[in-house]
Structure 1
Amino acid sequence: MANEPRDPMPLEEPMFILENGEMYRNQTEVKMSQIVLPCHANYCGELSAGQLLKWMDSTACLSAERHAGCSCITASVDDIHFETTIGVGQVVNITAKVNRAFTSSMEVCGNIF
């Protein structure tokens, strides 16, 4: 009996309910989860800020590219607040979505939890 190729599971798009009750899907929302390994940590066993910024940038870039349909780069970052440390073995969940789009640039917002 030959193995038949299976269809990949469809990705579930995030759903939002507007005030008027209509359903809305944000096609630019990207969610990424990363487990913190020892190679991602500093000498204290905490996730290095540089690694976290790299993951954030990758997630935001995917969101921007999904919106634009072409390659995108990060031009600037407005503000970042580190509230707590993340240790080895913990999972970092990052979300990003395009808030506003202009002629040749866009604003991407991200959250980490």
Structure 2
Amino acid sequence: MRKHLDDIHVEEDEDEINLTPMLDVVFIMLIFFIVTASFIKESGIDVNRPDAPMTQSTPEESNILVVINGLDEIYIENRIIDPKAVKANITRLHAANPEGSVVIQADRKSTNK
């Protein structure tokens, strides 16, 4: 009788699933996808900003963003704006959000001052 119970115990040990090969495959696939993933640069306007000291920050959503690129094109809220219409656009946006600040990001190559 004892021998019969020992045989059953041995069979239970043999029924375990070895997860090591599966983990090896998972890690190899993970490394493959990390190495082959293409990192996409977000679309936007390239601006080389000059260095400036840090100032007190305000929430991003309340700011009015004005960008002047190296070709002297003026963007307000990611839309190109005619230089003659800049004041009217800033006034309109400031009236809609009076607590917002005007943030100007100018390229070093721009000639607008």
Q: TM-score, normalised by structure 2?
A: 0.23
Query: Which entry has the higher C-alpha Rg, 1 or 2?
Result: 2
Q: Which has the higher helix share?
A: 2
Q: Which has the higher strand share?
A: 1
Q: TM-score, normalised by structure 1?
A: 0.23
